[in-house]
Amino acid sequence: VTISVAKSGGNATSGLQYGAMEEEINHCGEGGLYAELIRNRAFQGSPKFPSSLEAWSGVGDSLLSLKNLTDPLSTALPTSVNVKGSGTAGLSNAGFWGIDVRRQKYTGSFYVKGSYKGSFTASLLSSSGKILATTKITSKTVANRWVQHRFVLTPKEKSADTKNTFSLTFDGSKASSGSLDFNLISLFPPTWNDRPNGMRKDLMQAMADMGPTFLRFPGGNNLEGDSIDGRWKWNETIGPLTDRPGRATTWQYGETLGLGLVEYMEWCDDLNMEPILGVYAGLALNGDVVPEDELDFYVQDALNEIEFLTGSVDTEFGALRAKVGHPKPWKIRYVEVGNEDMLSNGLDTYKAYRFAAFNDAITAKYPDIQVLASTIDLEIPGTAGGDYHLYDNADNFVKKFNMFDNFSPKHPILLGEIAATSPLNGVDIDWSDIHFSQYPWWIGTVAEAVFLIGAERNADKVIGSTYAPFMMNLDKYQWSPTMLAFNADPDQTARSTSWHAWTLYNHNIMTNTLPATSSDSFGPLYYVTGVNSKTKSHIFKGAVYNSTSDVPVSLTFEGVGRGTKADLTILTAPGPYAMNEVGGSNIVNTQTTTIKAGKKGEFSFKLPNLSVAVLTTN
Ligand code: AHR
């Protein structure tokens, strides 16, 4: 294939090509990125998932019972556990299907109510009962008051596996009423940037290495809730943990809301990501829709949320942000109204009044914000944009290579959820079972690359793309595949085949596309060409899908002469169905060579079948 790239004439790109998406699903936050190690730390319940003792057991013959006391720890956390036992009494937690114990500092805290004249012992124990770390905490208890106790655990060695537990014990004979009440029992390992209430380091590292430029949050279905009242309420996710009630996610478990709005923004700060904020738009997954005459409250709530994030401390909600520790306003440039409002019977009302109500109000108050509809199945008004999601088999991704060619830059499109999910080409996706392929597989990854090239060719119309869902805890997940997969052991985290391809593309961002001509049409080689005006590098991104042989490429960039050097990176894998699995080794083969332009400035190379490649001039 001979490709000639012109000097000018392409499009400026948004600069945000590859990002990340997060909603609470697959225990990606709770039991994942949110580094809390104690599962069910505050016995939070909801009508769907009532409070329970899940993950907890009594130490020895201790009796654990859930209580809704008349003087609870807080209104948001009404349920606590009463621990009754003679001698050594206490409770033990199994963590999120294990606890990673290694030589590092673990920071813990618990609240206790009751008069007790002894000390508490916090420990990390192996499955055989070996003490991996332990510390004594002098009681500061006061009868009839909740008192917080803090502690630190410092194991001397790494445990053999993660089948460890955390226990908190006390001398039952010294508790004046024979029992004590506990709540909000928490334990954190060191976190990314040492943030309190922070993020798990290995997962942040995997993202940092990918370099996502934006974060779309907090959903996804989880933003919408199963019912209108079950929606993700931003104001319940902020402030002290004692003020966060928790809620039922839409993914078969409850969340503590420890990973809340402020934590999402800090995550953006830490990884230098542009926030793409999803605001609730009056549709619940059960199909309930807020009627037009009741929508004002929700529109105002979205405005309040934006003011909370961006307003000066002189505004009502900016002041609230300062009160919870963040006087400095953040910047929000993108707001998405709802999530997949074309589903759950939402489209008619979205078209009729819901989208317009939010769009008009947000644009009037924040003219610099790019508002996005959560679908492209409507006539998008003004300069608003849309969000397109694609879950499909590999072949269908490739068929959609040209999809954005006829879109208008007037309505920029976010590709807010993208994943080749099913290895069954030619078979429609079975939405009744959303455990598709367990992990991204190589041919699916290559097909995504083809589709992403199609998007990059239209990077003036496409704001950027993110894989979804982004992460899963292999011990408890609802939807696969994901970009990253993990369990309790950070050493086993899998960066998927897609992570490798998306990362390669993301590390070679074009500021401008450049038009290319060729006598060959696209397929089996797909490509996009452009330039990065900051590094002055010319860039070719290519992917080969379903070729019977290697594809020879002769590539020239107008103005790039003989002898110019370029780095050519080619990703391949041992086979179309090869995957990167949790605990396994990386199967993606990355080969980088430096090549020189020939007499006519041509770069000559071959790309094998099922390869993903980038060439950048030096
Ligand atoms: O990414 C998983 C789900 O897929 C999201 O919650 C939803 O937006 C989409 O249907």
Ligand 1 centroid distance, CA of 39 (Å): 24
Ligand 1 centroid distance, CA of 339 (Å): 8
- Which residue minimizes the CA distance to atom 3 of ligand 1? 220
- Which residue minimizes the CA distance to atom 9 of ligand 1? 220
pLDDT range class, residue 470, cuts 50, 70, 90: very high
Ligand 1 centroid distance, CA of 282 (Å): 17
Cβ < 6 A, ligand 1 pocket: 23, 25, 219-221, 339-340, 389, 417, 468-469, 479
CA atoms within 13 A on the CB side of 486: 31
Nearest atom of ligand 1 to the alpha carbon of 250? 6
Nearest atom of ligand 1 to the alpha carbon of 23? 6
- Which residue minimizes the CA distance to atom 2 of ligand 1? 469
Q: How many residues does the chain have?
A: 618
Cα gap 566→391, rounded to integer Å: 35
Q: Is the pLDDT of residue 226 over 90?
A: yes
Q: Is the pLDDT of residue 389 over 90?
A: yes
Across the chain, what does the average pLDDT equal?
A: 97
Six-digit token pair at 534?
A: 């900051």
- Which residue minimizes the CA distance to atom 5 of ligand 1? 220
Average pLDDT over residues 505-516: 97
Cα gap 168→188, rounded to integer Å: 15
Tens digit of each residue's pLDDT (9 = 90 or more) over 24-62: 999 999 999 999 999 999 999 999 999 999 999 999 999
Sign of the Cα pseudo-torsion (582, 585, 587, 591, in order): positive
Instruction: Say what percent of the chain tops pLDDT 70.
Output: 100
- Which residue minimizes the CA distance to atom 1 of ligand 1? 469
**pLDDT at position 433, please?**
87
CB 556 within 8 A of CB 604: no
Ligand 1 pocket test: pick from 479, 480, 498 the residue with the most ligand atoms within 8 Å of its Cβ.
Answer: 479
Nearest atom of ligand 1 to the alpha carbon of 339? 8
Ligand 1 pocket test: pick from 21, 22, 23, 388 the residue with the most ligand atoms within 8 Å of its Cβ.
Answer: 23
ipTM higher than threshold 0.95: yes
pLDDT range class, residue 77, cuts 50, 70, 90: very high
Closest CA to 36 of 474, 475, 494, 488: 488
Cα gap 419→392, rounded to integer Å: 7
Average pLDDT over residues 55-83: 98
Cα gap 68→157, rounded to integer Å: 39
Cα gap 467→365, rounded to integer Å: 31
Ligand 1 pocket test: pick from 417, 436, 484, 498 the residue with the most ligand atoms within 8 Å of its Cβ.
Answer: 417
Ligand 1 pocket test: pick from 336, 391, 436 the residue with the most ligand atoms within 8 Å of its Cβ.
Answer: 391
> What is 498-535 written as a DSSP string?
HHHHHHHHHTS--SEE--EE-SSPSSSEEEEEEEETTT
Q: Is the pLDDT of residue 570 over 90?
A: yes
> Helix, strand or coil for residue 103?
coil
Ligand 1 centroid distance, CA of 391 (Å): 9
Ligand 1 pocket test: pick from 216, 232, 340 the residue with the most ligand atoms within 8 Å of its Cβ.
Answer: 340
Within 8 A by CB and 6+ apart from 522, the residues are: 401
Ligand 1 centroid distance, CA of 52 (Å): 28
Ligand 1 centroid distance, CA of 221 (Å): 6
**pLDDT at position 435, please?**
87
Tens digit of each residue's pLDDT (9 = 90 or more) over 158-176: 999 999 999 999 999 999 8
Tens digit of each residue's pLDDT (9 = 90 or more) over 286-296: 999 999 999 99
Nearest atom of ligand 1 to the alpha carbon of 416? 8
Q: Is the pLDDT of residue 497 over 90?
A: yes
- pTM (two decimals): 0.97
Cα gap 171→428, rounded to integer Å: 61
Q: Is the pLDDT of residue 484 over 90?
A: yes
- Which residue minimizes the CA distance to atom 7 of ligand 1? 220
Average pLDDT over residues 52-81: 98
Average pLDDT over residues 232-240: 98
Q: Is the pLDDT of residue 106 over 90?
A: yes
pLDDT range class, residue 597, cuts 50, 70, 90: very high
Nearest atom of ligand 1 to the alpha carbon of 251? 6
Within 8 A by CB and 6+ apart from 530, the residues are: 10, 13, 456, 510, 511, 512, 513, 514, 538, 539
Ligand 1 centroid distance, CA of 272 (Å): 24
Cα gap 16→499, rounded to integer Å: 17
Q: Is the pLDDT of residue 282 over 90?
A: yes
> What is 291-353 written as a DSSP string?
-GGGTHHHHHHHHHHHHHHHS-TTSHHHHHHHHTT--SPP---EEEESS-TTSTT-HHHIIII
Ligand 1 centroid distance, CA of 521 (Å): 34
Q: Is the pLDDT of residue 240 over 90?
A: yes
CB 172 within 8 A of CB 62: yes
Ligand 1 centroid distance, CA of 260 (Å): 19
Ligand 1 centroid distance, CA of 34 (Å): 20
Q: Is the pLDDT of residue 107 over 90?
A: yes
Strands 334-337 and 274-279, bridge-based pairing: parallel
In the β-sheet with 603-607, what is the strand arrangement from edge to edge? 516-517, 2-5, 551-557, 603-607
pLDDT range class, residue 456, cuts 50, 70, 90: very high
Ligand 1 centroid distance, CA of 130 (Å): 42
**pLDDT at position 99, please?**
98
Ligand 1 centroid distance, CA of 416 (Å): 10
> Helix, strand or coil for residue 14?
coil
**pLDDT at position 15, please?**
84
Tens digit of each residue's pLDDT (9 = 90 or more) over 363-381: 999 999 999 999 999 999 9
Ligand 1 pocket test: pick from 226, 372, 389, 392 the residue with the most ligand atoms within 8 Å of its Cβ.
Answer: 389
